[in-house]
Structure 1
């Protein structure tokens, strides 16, 4: 993927350089949901910081989907963002969730996010749907971008369900730029698919709405194969859709680039059981071969902080007091790999670890 940057056209003062130092201290909590680019890796781009915002409006966008417009106090300007960006949202309960920005990047007065209600989830979406109202206060962190919108001769967008949220601003950006684009929007039924009305206003490309109850299960390889040679293909949606796109992209379109974003934790691959000792509590936990150290720690410390669960954001960085770590992240610098780990993805290289928890 390309690199999303914020252009600053002046020499930073001493105070701004100090701000940069402070921002670096935050960097472990500013990366977010994973964006996999099979063409080349992309660092998470950070443009903002912690902000206290107000819910300006709550709107039903589809069955079990609401959007929130968030504004700053006194309608102050918000940090700039680019298509593909998302924010951490800290709910009144203390839960932390990540949501894509799906509004207009040119509108510096408000951020829009959309949330699908997950009845059997961990409660974050239910809290938003049931408890947040206009005037509610929320703390956010960001925006940041690990799903950068790159320049390309043409685009193919495949969005599954709520995966339309990061894709929607990209479609509008492509339409504004006059670049060739196609969008294939998947969902279980039209009633569950948000922003259909906004998509009808996008010009210069094609929008194909493919709900399962009308078209059946989609053939992802066939859909990916519709991309023009050299196209950038963006896919966001359920894990099976992402996996199918990754398996087939360079078979059907070897000259293009594939950019994907997932909303769930990565599965544990090639894991083995190990013990993790929590030094502060004296407890020793057994980490299963198919679970993360974070999952085991959460059984003992439900309030332990974490965010992306995919080795990007660094929120779960923990000091390692004994044992060797099998690092599976892309975030920790070499200088920290001997004494720290990201518990959401990294594991013991041997039979046990002792961490400062």
Structure 2
């Protein structure tokens, strides 16, 4: 579900030779007009004809203002979006695309260590390109089950040579996270996207340099929270005050009070429902903000996060 967002009606180009179980969809305006600008790390919502909305990272070049590409892994055990795309979204189809959003921004530094697992290569590709253009010192550790499952691997190796450290699991085992930690300890930032086991292992391996790590998650991470308690929320934009009861989200409560609140994933991973926090203390339950961003206590994802104070004042 997306509320209060402009949706572009774009034409699909489809490529199926990317990797085992992965296709790419490239979107362009029917009249050839320019698409909204975006930066490495951005993702878009696909509003599918069957009513589903799914988020995918953009893997094309930001400099190309006329095309946006995403890669989609066929996941039979998922919530159905990828299966529908693989089976029903064909060449020439018209798909609604939300405006690009970015909570995985590439900060300008002189040294990067990129880590990708499987289809997690998608947001990393534009970052690698940007790092190369900037003349930064960078390498990419790229893992997957097999070489044939690793999307864009051949293209990356041809373009960047030995800066691409390919580590297929059936050949060398799991990604060498000790090497990642050692390189990150020498400075710069570590950017990683991939399945949850990889992200959890990287967080553990790089705990001593956690401030240098930037992660992009496909799904909400497992977290343990205490029992929900009721609290008040004031919306500074209009003065509305609501009581948020246990087991009910701020977003659901505001909608019940008549407000149209934008949302998409509704599990704290996409950032669509981000709101500013003017006062009160947030119980952050998202899987998106960094620890430092959560500690700043100036924004929150109202689809999942709550309050540890008796009252929050937010701005939509």
Q: Secondary structure at the match of 2:100?
A: strand
CA-to-partner distance for each residue in 1:227-258, whole Å, 9 max, x for gaps? 3622111111112222222233252x58x721
Q: Residue in 2 aligned with 1:266?
A: 221
In 2, the alpha carbon distance for the partners of 1:102 and 1:151 equals 19
State the 1:106 CA deviation.
1.1
Question: Are 1:136 and 2:96 counterparts?
Answer: no
CA-to-partner distance for each residue in 1:57-99, whole Å, 9 max, x for gaps? 3333111000011001211111111111110111111111111
Q: Residue in 1 aligned with 2:8?
A: 51
CA contact (8 A) 1:180 1:205 kept: no
* CA shift in 2, pair 1:216/1:125, >3 Å: same
Question: Are 1:71 and 2:28 counterparts?
Answer: yes
In 1, the alpha carbon distance for the partners of 2:264 and 2:37 equals 25
Q: Residue in 2 aligned with 1:310?
A: 268
State the 1:202 CA deviation.
2.9
Q: Secondary structure at the match of 2:215?
A: strand
Q: Secondary structure at the match of 2:224?
A: coil
* CA shift in 2, pair 1:170/1:314, >3 Å: closer
* CA shift in 2, pair 1:242/1:306, >3 Å: same
Superposed, 1:69-108 pairs within 5 Å as 69-108=26-65
Q: Secondary structure at the match of 2:218?
A: coil
* CA shift in 2, pair 1:130/1:225, >3 Å: same
Q: Residue in 2 aligned with 1:61?
A: 18
Q: Secondary structure at the match of 2:49?
A: coil
Question: Are 1:344 and 2:304 counterparts?
Answer: yes
Q: Secondary structure at the match of 1:166?
A: helix
Q: Residue in 2 aligned with 1:152?
A: 109
CA-to-partner distance for each residue in 1:11-53, whole Å, 9 max, x for gaps? xxxxxxxxxxxxxxx9x877xxxxxxxxxxxxxxxxxx42111
CA-to-partner distance for each residue in 1:318-338, whole Å, 9 max, x for gaps? xxxxxxx9743679xx9999x
CA contact (8 A) 1:183 1:206 kept: yes
Q: Normalized against structure 1, the TM-score is what?
A: 0.66
Structure 1 runs (4+) deviating above 4 angstroms are 314-317, 334-337, 347-350
Q: Residue in 2 aligned with 1:225?
A: 182
Superposed, 1:13-32 pairs within 5 Å as none
Count of equivalent residues: 273
* CA shift in 2, pair 1:215/1:308, >3 Å: farther
In 2, the alpha carbon distance for the partners of 1:228 and 1:313 equals 29
In 2, the alpha carbon distance for the partners of 1:312 and 1:131 equals 24
Structure 2 gaps, min length 5: 231-244, 254-262, 276-280, 311-316
CA contact (8 A) 2:114 2:191 kept: yes
Q: Normalized against structure 2, the TM-score is what?
A: 0.74
Superposed, 1:4-15 pairs within 5 Å as none
CA-to-partner distance for each residue in 1:282-311, whole Å, 9 max, x for gaps? xxx995xxxx969x99xxxxxxx7425116
CA-to-partner distance for each residue in 1:173-196, whole Å, 9 max, x for gaps? 222222211110011111111001
In 1, the alpha carbon distance for the partners of 2:108 and 2:298 equals 34
In 1, the alpha carbon distance for the partners of 2:105 and 2:274 equals 24
The correspondence for 1:237, drawn from 181, 194, 207, is 194
State the 1:201 CA deviation.
3.1
CA contact (8 A) 1:309 1:345 kept: no
State the 1:153 CA deviation.
1.2
In 1, the alpha carbon distance for the partners of 2:218 and 2:47 equals 17
* CA shift in 2, pair 1:311/1:271, >3 Å: farther
State the 1:127 CA deviation.
0.5
* CA shift in 2, pair 1:306/1:312, >3 Å: closer
The alignment's C-alpha RMSD in Å is 3.6
CA contact (8 A) 1:231 1:257 kept: yes
